[in-house]
Amino acid sequence: MLIGKGEKLVMIGDSVTDCGRTQPVAEGLFDPLGRGYVTFVDALLSACYPELGIRVVNMGNSGNTVRDLQARWTRDVLDLKPDWLSICIGVNDVWRQFDIPRQTEKHVMLEEYAATLGQLVSTTRPQLKGLVLMTPYYIEPNRDDAMRMRMDEYGAAVRQIAAAHDAHFVDLQAAFAPLLEHVHSAAISWDRIHPNQTGHMVIARAFLKAIGFSWTGAPA
């Protein structure tokens, strides 16, 4: 497993990461990490690798775009001094182009998205032991759907940024594909963005696979 003993993992993103987490910094007592994949990641790391004492911090904020991440980056990432960082952003950057098409000032187009995310990654990567970049997604199997097509373009940008900066890449759109072969998207998410517990476990599983997680823990 790639994350080492006593290391801190900060997971930042939008509502999919937030999931009702404690503000301002989600770590500590009384279930602070919310109801989503961050809690699953923390629980599985704690259960399978108790000897490592890995710290997981949830810094997701509902409604965020990459612009919002940039505005709070110093406070919510750099000041926390993570060893590992996970970024999952882009859903709202795309979604606002479809649900409020006339409010163009709230649209984060692909060029801006890639440039902003790339800048955050390039300036932060040297301070980290490890970085995980997860794609935005749309829980829709039809690749010709307009929003799915746009989301795939943003996912491709994340892949390029990960390759350029020695980051672990997690394709969440691909992670949902096997599930969608057997169940309708409505059984996973009412709006095809905010998943139920099954969907959050898909995200957690994809993240954990990227960091070399094993159900049996560290080798004896």
Could you give the residue numbers annotated as active site? 15, 191, 194
DSSP assignment of 136-183 equals -------TTSHHHHHHHHHHHHHHHHHHHTT-EEE-HHHHHHHHHTTS
* Phi, psi of 71, deg, nearest 5: -70, -30
Crossing angle (nearest 10°) for helices 91-99 and 146-164: 160
State the Cα–Cα distance between residues 56 and 39, nearest whole angstrom. 9
Which is it for the CA torsion 50, 24, 76, 118, positive or negative?
positive
State the Cα–Cα distance between residues 160 and 152, nearest whole angstrom. 13
Q: Residues with Cβ < 8 Å from 162, sequence gap 6 or more?
A: 133, 168, 169
| N-term to C-term CA, the chain | 13
Residue 134 amino acid letter: M
Q: Which residue has the tokens 């995980």?
A: 132
Q: Which alpha helices (H) appear in the chain, and where do they start and end?
A: 15-18, 37-48, 66-76, 91-99, 110-124, 146-164, 172-180, 197-210
